[in-house]
Chain A
Amino acid sequence: MANITFITQAGKSLKLAADSGSVMELAVNNNVPGIDGDCGGVCSCATCHVHVAPEDWEKTGAPGDLEKDMLEFDDNVNEFSRLSCQISITEALDGITLKVAN
Chain B
Amino acid sequence: MVDRTAHQTCLIIGASHAGVNAAFALRKQGWKGNIKLFDREPELPYHRPPLSKVFLSGDTGVEDSLLKGISSYESENIDLQTGRSVTEILPKDKIVRLSDGETCSYDQLLLATGASPLMPPIPGLKSSHKIFGLRTAADARGIRNAFFASSGKRVVVIGGGYIGLEAAASLRKLGGRVTVLEREERVLARVTSPEMSAFFTRLHTDKGVSIATGRNVTAIEIKGSELEVFCGDGSRYAADMLIVGVGVVVNTALAQMAGLKISNGIAVNARMQTSDPDIYAIGDCTSFFHPRYKKEIRLESVQNAVDQAKVAAANICGIPTEYASLPWFWSDQFEVKLQMCGLASGYDRLVVRREEGDDPHQHSCWYFSGDKLLAVDAVNHARAYMLGMKLLKEGKHPAPEKLEDLSLALHPRTVLA
A interface, CB within 8 angstroms of B: 28-31, 33, 36, 38-46, 66, 69-74
Tell which of B303, B306, B386 touches A70, judged by Cβ atoms closer than 8 Å.
Answer: B386
Q: A residues within 8 A CB of B72? A: 28-31
B382 and A29 contacting across the interface, CB-CB below 8 Å: no
Tell which of B28, B65, B75, B302 touches A38, judged by Cβ atoms closer than 8 Å.
Answer: B302
B337 close to A (CB within 8 Å) = yes
Q: A residues within 8 A CB of B69? A: 28-30
B386 and A73 contacting across the interface, CB-CB below 8 Å: yes
The chain A residue sitting closest to B24, CB to CB, is: A31
B390 close to A (CB within 8 Å) = yes
Q: A residues within 8 A CB of B328? A: 45
A-B contact pairs, 27 of them (CB 8 A): A28-B68, A28-B69, A28-B72, A29-B72, A30-B69, A30-B71, A30-B72, A31-B68, A33-B28, A36-B306, A39-B330, A40-B50, A41-B65, A42-B49, A42-B53, A42-B332, A42-B337, A43-B337, A43-B382, A44-B337, A70-B382, A70-B386, A71-B386, A73-B386, A73-B389, A73-B412, A74-B386
Measured between C-beta atoms, what is the minimum distance from A66 to chain B in Å?
5
B interface, CB within 8 angstroms of A: 24, 28, 47, 49-50, 53, 65-66, 68-69, 71-72, 75-76, 302-303, 306, 328, 330, 332, 337, 339, 381-383, 385-387, 389-390, 412
Given contacts A29-B68, A72-B386, 12 further A-B contacts (CB under 8 A): A28-B69, A29-B71, A30-B72, A39-B330, A40-B49, A42-B337, A69-B381, A69-B386, A70-B382, A70-B385, A70-B386, A73-B383
A73 and B306 contacting across the interface, CB-CB below 8 Å: no
Tell which of A39, A44, A69 touches B383, judged by Cβ atoms closer than 8 Å.
Answer: A69
Interface of B is mostly: helix
A38 and B330 contacting across the interface, CB-CB below 8 Å: no
Cα of A28 to Cα of B72 in the assembled complex, Å:
8
A42 and B330 contacting across the interface, CB-CB below 8 Å: yes
Measured between C-beta atoms, what is the minimum distance from A77 to chain B in Å?
10
Q: A residues within 8 A CB of B389? A: 73
Q: A residues within 8 A CB of B381? A: 69
CB-CB under 8 A for A73 and B387, given A28-B69, A29-B68: yes
The chain B residue sitting closest to A65, CB to CB, is: B382
Give me the 3 closest cross-chain CB pairs, A-B, nearest first: A29-B69, A69-B382, A40-B47
The chain B residue sitting closest to A70, CB to CB, is: B382
The chain B residue sitting closest to A74, CB to CB, is: B386
